[in-house]
Amino acid sequence: MSDGTRNPLRILVIDDEVAIRRFLCNALPAEEFTLFDADGGRAGLAAATAVHPDLILLDLGLPDLDGIEVLTRIREWSPVPIVILSVRDRENDKIAALDAGADDYLTKPFGVGELLARIRATLRRVVKQTPEPVFASEGLVVDLTLRRVTVDGAEVQLTPTEYDLLRLLVAHAGKVLTHGQLLKEIWGPAHREQPNVLRVTISNLRRKIEADTARPRHILTEPGVGYRLRVE
């Protein structure tokens, strides 16, 4: 008979810095997570196939293989959630990692609280393999079955494009979607280099669902990278 407990989730850390691996081993609660580590890209790829982790924390600056290559190789055979931990803070690096299949991106140094929040949000998305028919967060309710959107109980009228954009954000709630990903999914591949159409639609959408467009609480901007729908 089950006592209601669950096995700790397996996290694979691929990072060549001993101090980071040691820090993560001490920072992540042992009752929630079992950590495995690898100090390079090839070792990380081998561990990913051997351990079958529930989540991977991946550094980009590895000594033998670039982290993007490791990410791309893993994505060839596995949908395992991958969170990037890197000192690279340029927009192009973040976009490249997210477009290659990363689920999230944290710039070093980072706080333990933020790391845990990102890990848990990423794992929640994986558990919900399909979006719930109703998304609700801080007064915003999106009924995907009825195509109905309300804010604090009041119905909001959206254009078809605004609704499609919001529905896509809901399907990936909590995850950063790059400008290129959003443009491709909503407007098609031909619009990937036309970010202004996305910017205008986001602005119009915020005017309808945000109480204060200067300080949005639902659709958050990842500067130079894309947007994230906040999950309460």
> What one-character-per-residue DSSP string does 87-124 give?
S---HHHHHHHHHTT-SEEEESS--HHHHHHHHHHHHH
- Any long-range contacts for 78-83 (C-beta under 8 Å, 24+ apart)? 78/48, 80/48, 80/53, 80/54, 80/55, 80/56, 81/54, 81/55, 81/56, 81/122, 81/123, 81/125, 81/126, 82/55, 82/56, 82/57, 82/58, 83/55, 83/56, 83/57, 83/58, 83/118, 83/119, 83/122
Question: What's the CA gap between 111 and 118, in Å, rounded?
Answer: 11
Contact 54, 10 (CB under 8 A): yes
Give the pLDDT of residue 2: 38
Question: What's the CA gap between 151 and 197, in Å, rounded?
Answer: 24
Q: In what order do the strands lie in the sheet with 226-229?
A: 177-178, 226-229, 219-222
Give the pLDDT of residue 4: 44
Structural domains of the chain, with CATH: 9-127 (3.40.50.2300), 134-229 (1.10.10.10)
Tell me, yes or no, if the pTM score tops 0.75. no
Can you give the pLDDT of all 232 residues of the chain as single tens digits?
334 445 788 999 999 999 999 999 888 888 889 999 999 999 999 999 888 898 999 999 999 999 999 999 998 888 889 999 999 888 899 999 999 999 999 998 888 999 999 998 888 776 655 556 889 999 999 998 888 999 999 999 999 899 999 999 998 888 889 998 899 888 877 776 778 899 999 999 999 999 999 999 999 999 989 999 998 7
Give the pLDDT of residue 1: 36
Give the pLDDT of residue 3: 45
